Amino acid sequence: MTADRLDRGQGLALWRQIASTLEHEITSGARVAGDKLPTEAALSAQFNVNRHTVRRALEALSARGLVRVEQGRGSFVAEDVLDYPLGGRTRFSETIRRQNREPQGRVIQIQEIAADSQVAEALGLKRGRPVVRLVRLGLADGRPILVGTHHFPLPRFDRLGEHLRTDPSITAALAACGVPDYRRRVTRVTARMPTPEEASLLEQARTRPILASEAINTDAAGQPVDFTLCTYAAGRVQIVVEDGA
């Protein structure tokens, strides 16, 4: 981009010309989803205009869903929003692959903890009983879209951590522990602001909301095997409730 691309004095507002130039770069693939745009100061210098003119161009692109502006972080090419279905049988990798994306799971933490009242009630345990707590980051094409905090009852899943350290797939780890299939019994979804840690893991601004869910998964006999607290990057994910969910 150079300032001489602007057609000055011909009746077309400069901010519209800047917006058109940036839009062309995005739609042509010169800038891809997630790319950070130059700062307002850099764009002002590039086009030889004031920052207010640049800001108006970015606001116009943001309103059209082509750019997302994050306070304190800058402006980025907007990503396509993933549909994330919540049904009786929700599997992260299957969901991502169905949308022609590459799934990846990254284990952040595995530890044994004492169940608090919320975890104990969800898993049908007495408060204070030991559980495996797993924090796992879910990515699509290398972009973080969710952070799941899972809780598995002990001693039933005492080998779960061993399996997860070699393969971050929860479905595979549960199968190795004798649970070949599991179903979601209940899900609750709310919206809130992220904690500093959540914002960092999801690579988003703390001023941008997240979607938060609670879910209980059960085995074939109806016994709870996993209580999950999940946070989704709301700018990259929309929750879809399937029939029978």
Say yes or no: 223 and 128 in one domain: yes
As given in the structure block, the two tokens for residue 36 are 């950070």
* 122 & 234 share domain: yes
Between the CA of residue 100 and those of 78, 113, 189, what are the distances in Å? Answer: 18, 37, 25
Same domain for 50 and 64? yes
Domain membership of residue 47 as a residue range: 3-77
Helices (H) and strands (E) in the chain, counts: 8, 10
User: 66 and 182 share a domain?
Assistant: no
Per-residue tens of pLDDT for the chain, all 245 residues: 445 578 877 778 999 999 999 998 888 888 887 789 999 999 999 999 999 999 999 999 887 778 888 777 788 888 777 888 877 777 888 888 888 889 999 999 999 999 999 999 999 999 999 999 999 999 998 889 999 999 999 999 999 999 998 888 999 999 999 999 999 888 889 999 999 999 999 988 788 889 999 999 999 999 999 999 999 988 788 888 765 54
Q: What is the pTM of this model?
A: 0.72
Residues 6+ apart with CB under 8 A from 233: 144, 145, 146, 202, 203, 204, 210
46 plus 111 within the same structural domain: no
Q: List phi, psi (to 5°) of 18.
A: -65, -45
